[in-house]
A and B are shown apart, each in its own frame.
Chain A
């Protein structure tokens, strides 16, 4: 990067706030995917005012600004393919206020999600969104990708907890939107617009978040099914019985055998599926009643065995199976591509059947697990990139996975976002009109196209 610009950046963010050695640039070239591209400079601001000046400078000089937190994203949304500034929010990590009366938290974008959760839970409050990366991702990144997690079935996604945002716009001006009011219908919901915008519309520097009271009790059950179809049917049966579990997680037989192979937890290898069900709340008897009702429904619906955890250590043990999926897969093959398609709940059995057909057709394993309760599945293709035959199959397989999700009335991504990885399928998913409207919004807010350029939108076909 131009020396003069580096100098100006240092004037704004301080000497230690600007990194530009080859090593610094190298480690800011990736996120949680296999994509890589180096930025020209890394800037770590400490205040909204600094961000504002940095973006204003970038606008003057037409330098791309790619905002990132801890870089655990799964769509390459924060990989700076355009070069420019990797605007890293990790040092803006102060919790500015926890209002215990109104149950809100005012935080800077770089606060680690788990740190916020720990802080509010000490005060008897609860911030429910729980992406499995909550220890290695920031609130800002969660909002920019509208992150989900297992608990979202009951509590909703990140966006459901955003009351207001402070956003630095593409010209450096600072927008404050939203308030502590739960109800607010004055004007367009701009906070919602920036939520899930993946850094393409503005730089989120602060957030006002809604909190709820901390549920004091939780009960968990692990249910074994000889038939995957039955497992999927039970998901709907439980929800229709008026039980809203915190989480309803599904693991198919491939997932189970992978976990068992890597972790030896003693899971059954002769079942087609496992459901993990959790209920929570502040009335112990009600929480227990709910998990027992769910268990009874499963037993009546063909479950081979239901194990209800009796205490916290048993509960942790049951969750260990679910938490082990991702690492177990990582140990199985050198590479994997995990998607997060979401389908209407009724279509889950059909989705699983078709995914298995794709796997059989290409002769590469697809492991199926995910948040069955809200139709959000993680079909994961296992492969070895060094094997050119396998590597060549991955993209067409992914394309078929996306096509099947859309065909069944679903969507490309439930919680990871678009980034660059799902761009090619955007048109198919949204249609030309929706994309046209979104392009106009982008143009209105970022006419110079300096904020995370090249992300989210399908590549324009040259006329």
Chain B
């Protein structure tokens, strides 16, 4: 913990940029308020009461306050520090189970999310909608459903080969860190990322044994649980002997880049973690640093771009995705007003702080609507889900997409009408593509078998 983070001079500038303050309009929901409570709590002047802790969880950790603070303190980090202190004093058992037992185990995660894939693949989702059933369930559940894109038949982890050769001459040996949400939900987009990399001279190594980057546990104050995950991932990519480690998930990227700090106090791992973190790059960051092939296909669409907090402020990457989109012929790029304002996703805030999350989202939706764009691009699964919800609630004619997916489309010289989420490119998919149910059921059976084989 950085103790100088406690030295707030109370100028209040952070209130101007805090998404929760600007909606709730009370000091309690502001970075200055949280920094004050954190200080009083840590110094023992205030009890670390459930309400005080709740204020720390009410922070969306969008890092806007860290960025604007004239004194250079990090109120958002302070909120997470207090969550961690609380977990040390009084660990919550469910966090141990969720962040220790489920999330870092890919197979368990795949099994746990199986019902979602069945819901999609067996046509239940379509049926529910055609019967108008969503109207019967609580708004909150309906919103969760609206967040999900068309789900992949199989998690990408199960179908992505460990080594994908470069299309032509191999110039780079690139590690690909496949995030959980990318594998389970946005499989198509990560498949596109791998295609784009391989097209641009990358031999891509995608170890299927990667585990969760650790962000969920970090956010819930359990950095202790992340150490092991970090070590596992570091060792894995050491074996792969890659020059860079690329990810197309903003959150994974920002977490992986922090491994160096996370393990800095560990003699055995500090140096290895620092080397690992230095190799990590967001896919747009990496692509713009190499001679990228100009796509020949056109994308005749108006496209805007939303900055994921974990990419813009977490990693300082914001020019690259814009530059990348503007390489595409026919694409009309329009800047989104307040592009780097949090969308309100912040991981699980839609579930834990529903009302505030939706209010924050409304501001984003208004801005998106004002651009009259056909696509809003954003390289973060959390943002993409939240933005999808925004689009569906307001019935906007906008599609949410990963910037790389648009680049991939341009390479494939396809005219973009709609992103077909159900597809995985042929040269990646090992199993014959089929939309028929027997195939889905066999995939499910496969899932079950793998689970029984043990972790």
Contact = CB atoms under 8 A, between A and B. Distances in A.
B46 A26 contact: yes
Interface in B115-163: none
Interface string B269-280: 000000000000
| Chain A interface helix/strand/loop/mixed | loop
Interface stretch (B5-13, B232-240, B316-324): B5-13
A72 B12 contact: yes
Interface string B37-69: 100100000110101100100000000000000
Contacts of B28: 19, 23-24, 27
Interface string A396-422: 000000000000000000000000000
A331 B14 CA distance: 16
Interface stretch (A87-95, A142-150, A273-281, A451-459): A87-95
Contact of A22 (B7, B25, B33, B46): B46
A110 B22 CA distance: 12
B383 to A, nearest CB: 25
Contacts of A28: 27
B10 A33 contact: yes
A330 interface: yes
Contact of B27 (A22, A27, A93, A133): A27
Contacts of B33: 27
A19 B37 CA distance: 15
Given A71-B27, A330-B71, A23 B12 contact: no
Contacts of B330: none
Contact of B36 (A26, A70, A136, A330): A26
Given A19-B28, A28-B27, A114-B16, A133 B71 contact: no
A268 interface: no
B8 to A, nearest CB: 10
Contacts of A22: 46-47, 49, 51
A334 interface: yes
Interface in B19-40: 25-28, 30, 32-33, 36-37, 40
Interface in A39-60: 42, 44
A301 interface: no
A23 B46 contact: yes
A136 B16 CA distance: 6
A33 to B, nearest CB: 7
A447 interface: no
Contacts of A33: 10
B72 interface: yes
A71 B36 CA distance: 13
Given A23-B49, A26-B40, A136 B25 contact: no
Interface string B202-225: 000000000000000000000000
B141 to A, nearest CB: 24
Contact of A23 (B13, B14, B37): B37
Interface string A206-228: 00000000000000000000000
Contacts of B55: 23
Nearest to A68: B27
B71 A136 contact: no
B70 interface: yes
Given A21-B51, A44-B25, A70 B12 contact: yes
B15 interface: yes
Given A327-B71, A330-B71, A331-B71, A93 B25 contact: yes
A90 B25 contact: yes
Nearest to A90: B25
Contacts of B16: 112, 114, 135-136
Interface string A3-39: 0000000000000000101111011101111100000
B70 A32 contact: no
Nearest to A74: B11
Contacts of B13: 133, 135-136
A326 interface: yes
Nearest to A328: B70
Contact of B70 (A23, A72, A88, A326): A326
A27 B25 contact: no
Contacts of A26: 36-37, 40, 46
B48 to A, nearest CB: 11
Nearest to A31: B10
A70 B71 CA distance: 19
A114 B16 CA distance: 9
B51 A23 contact: yes
B208 to A, nearest CB: 46
Contact of A136 (B15, B26, B46): B15
Nearest to B69: A327
Given A23-B51, A112-B16, A331-B71, A133 B11 contact: yes
A45 B297 CA distance: 56
A380 B405 CA distance: 54
Interface of A: 19, 21-24, 26-28, 30-34, 42, 44, 70-72, 88, 90-91, 93, 110, 112, 114, 133, 135-137, 326-327, 330-331, 334, 336
Closest 8 CB pairs of A and B: A327-B70, A135-B16, A27-B33, A136-B12, A72-B12, A90-B25, A27-B27, A330-B71
Given A23-B55, A133-B13, A135-B16, 9 more contacts: A23-B52, A42-B26, A70-B12, A72-B11, A110-B25, A133-B11, A135-B13, A136-B14, A136-B15
22 contacts: A23-B51, A26-B36, A26-B40, A27-B27, A27-B30, A27-B36, A30-B36, A32-B10, A34-B10, A42-B26, A71-B12, A90-B25, A110-B25, A112-B16, A114-B16, A135-B13, A136-B12, A136-B14, A136-B16, A331-B71, A331-B72, A334-B7
